[in-house]
Amino acid sequence: MQIVLVSALLVVTLVLLMTEAIAVDLTAMGIMVVLMAAGLLSPSEAVAGIASPAVVTVGSMFVISRALMRTGAVGYIGQKVIHASRGNTQRAFLLVLLIVAIASAFINNTPVVVLFIPVVLSLTCEFDLSPSKFLIPMSYASILAGTCTLIGTSTNIIVSNLSAARGYGALGMFELSRLGVPIAVIGMVILYFIGPRIMPGMAAPVCELGDSEHRRYLAELAVPKESPLVGAEPLAAFGQDYPGLEIFEVIRYSHIHYPGREPVILAGDDLLLVKGSASDLVALLESKSVLLPLVEQGVSFKSGDKETLVVELIIPPQSNLRGEKIVDTAVRRDPDIRIVAIKRSGLHYTEKQIDDVRLKTGDILLIALPLDKLEGLRRQTDTIVIEDVHHEIVLKQKAGRAVAIFAAMVGAATLGLADIMVCALAAAVLMILSGCLQLRDAYRAMQANVLMLIAGTIALGAAMEKTGTSQLYADAFLSLFTGASPTWVLCGILLLTSLSTQLLSNNATAVLLLPIAVSTALALGLDPKPFIVAVCFGASACFATPIGYQTNLLVYGPGGYRFSDYLKLGIPLNILVIGMGTALIPVFWPF
């Protein structure tokens, strides 16, 4: 009966985590409540995950990552990429991949990608390239590099702590590098040479935010039913009379179509996301072939102190706006800022629809604001101005101090002077005491929803092990490999973990599948360590979908991607990880 209850709870948890019908941290708390109420775990066992070394270490790493960002220790390098590229796009792309990879090997890769999205968009504006050629490869580079060290991704930290708790030893700081580095190097070669060739070529609508007498404006225009544009092909609609106008999106019934990528003919009531000079936009509006949507009435295309720009904002993972209704946000309440639209995974919400929309990571807000408000918007961290070179770095003078603290943490953990949790917690405290990060920013950096999810899934994993559910699943899994060698069973674990992480978070996948992997190894009479390592690499092999990893979701909107775009590079990279893992894990970690 207990196994049935745990299995039912597991299914419900998986559905809730995949659909996000309720917040993931609320799901995690619900797991603990149900486990206690059903008597499957004692209260102390159910909440033990909250104080687990994994949660403390991951939370500390979030703080350390934020401090390195806020002091400009990483951002300064990113801002120099354009200058170092010397106008060579291939060199610029290679520099971005290398810097993102090196940074992601040592700090949480989500803030690294948050930092470099505006850098890449600035590069593509500078060289008139498509950002969609580079954003997915950048996300994948951060994921590949995250598997190279213990602290490169929170998944490795969690698995290491769970392994130690089960008596199989923690992972060393660079223990995973033996396999992670070769995989990352080969993966980076694929990303560099093949990525830009097979990624879609989407134009970048938001460029030219800098002061210029030739500035072009981003605007939404409505096509009235009687317009002569009805029936026209978007890319040719303005070609003869307004050659400087570009159409980036055609919005119809809340769905976004991308001209040049898919066939679409203009129809009445379509909305067009266009960019052009003030004179072209004014002339087009006077021709009556298009109108300004109601929400944009009053947007000025004239010079002056209150000159209005239309810009795009990304909602990053650490934003306080996540989960808030639009109507409740400070952006909505600001009388000088107008939210024109929200874009989410190919859908478009206009003003009449947006008040009750709850914001999620990766959402893009299209807003109109006075030019003099832009600098203030750049300084806050709840949104990213898409074409910006990231948030204003305000603590550059303490960058050296932050780097020294971080280097000391890595050195102490590598030399075994202290446990990784002790090192990370000490480094987080020193970042705050030394003034590299304010205490309120440290609390914001810790991503409580992620930490609570880890704690909840640890509780569910403990229940699976205590009730024998993980052993049952391990036996069922082994039945698929009757007579197979341990190497093929290991391949199966890698494949199962990689498939699971495409739909669940990598942390949840690792916590839930680790007990099954360990039980499988013990049933075969083998050392569990190779199977534990397989969970590390399999859980981070989340390349094939945008929902498997936060960095994939972050680049979805700015790149104008479709779900299928992730499969083009994602499937080869998944095969690379599974293939090299199957071949080399037994070599480095014998059965």
Specify if 208 maps to a domain: no
| Last residue in a domain, options 353, 385, 417 | 385
pLDDT digits (tens, 9 = 90+) for 498-525: 988 887 778 888 888 898 899 899 989 9
pLDDT above 70: residue 390:
no
Distance CA 516, CA 468 (A): 10
| Last residue in a domain, options 361, 385, 409 | 385
pLDDT digits (tens, 9 = 90+) for 11-33: 888 888 777 778 778 888 999 99
Place of tokens 């990624």: 199
pLDDT digits (tens, 9 = 90+) for 139-174: 999 999 999 999 888 899 999 999 998 899 999 999
Question: Residue type for 461, please?
Answer: G
Specify if 58 maps to a domain: yes
Among candidate residues 421, 532, 422, 492, the one with its CA nearest the CA of residue 175: 532
Q: Give the range of the structural domain holding residue 264, as residue numbers without chain letter.
A: 216-385
Neighbour-count burial for 450-462, b at 16+ CB within 10 Å, e otherwise: bbbbbbbbbbbbb
pLDDT digits (tens, 9 = 90+) for 420-441: 889 989 999 999 999 888 888 8
Check whether residue 378 and residue 413 sit in a common domain: no
Check whether residue 448 and residue 471 sit in a common domain: yes
Q: Looking at the 3D structure of the chain, how many domains does it have? A: 2
Q: Classify residue 15 as exposed, middle or buried by CB count within 10 Å of its CB (0-12, 13-18, 19+).
A: exposed
Please state the length of the chain. Answer: 591
- Report CA 281 to chain centroid distance, whole Å: 35
pLDDT above 70: residue 77:
no
Segment 209-213 mean pLDDT: 49
Which pLDDT score is estimated for 354? 63
Specify if 504 maps to a domain: yes
Specify if 394 maps to a domain: no
Looking up residue 376, the CATH number of its domain turns out to be 3.30.70.1450
Tell whether the torsion through CA atoms of 310, 315, 321 and 325 is positive or negative: positive
Place of tokens 């946000």: 329
Q: Helix and strand tally (H, E) in the chain? A: 27, 9
Which pLDDT score is estimated for 189? 95
Question: Residue type for 126, please?
Answer: E
Check whether residue 106 and residue 131 sit in a common domain: yes
Specify if 418 maps to a domain: yes
Among candidate residues 34, 32, 36, 16, the one with its CA nearest the CA of residue 24: 16
The three state secondary structure string of 109-134 is: HHHHHHHHHHHHHHHHHHHCCCHHHC
Check whether residue 119 and residue 65 sit in a common domain: yes
Place 389 in a pLDDT band, splitting at 50, 70 and 90: very low
pLDDT above 60: residue 385:
yes
Check whether residue 350 and residue 411 sit in a common domain: no
Specify if 269 maps to a domain: yes
| Among the ranges given (74-83, 193-202, 420-429), the one the predictor scored with the smallest mean pLDDT | 74-83
Which pLDDT score is estimated for 75? 60
> From residue 235, how far is each of 222, 249, 280, 416 by CA, in Å?
16, 10, 16, 61
Structure tokens at 96: 């971005």
Check whether residue 308 and residue 421 sit in a common domain: no
On average, the pLDDT of the chain sits at 82
pTM of the model: 0.73
Cβ contacts of 451 within 8 Å, gap of 6 or more = 55, 58, 59
Tell whether the torsion through CA atoms of 491, 495, 496 and 497 is positive or negative: positive
| Last residue in a domain, options 358, 385, 412 | 385
pLDDT digits (tens, 9 = 90+) for 94-128: 888 998 898 888 887 877 887 788 778 777 777 77
Check whether residue 83 and residue 141 sit in a common domain: yes
Bridge partners of 312, per DSSP, are 366
pLDDT digits (tens, 9 = 90+) for 440-467: 888 878 878 888 888 888 898 888 888 8
Check whether residue 266 and residue 351 sit in a common domain: yes
Which pLDDT score is estimated for 355? 65
Check whether residue 96 and residue 195 sit in a common domain: yes
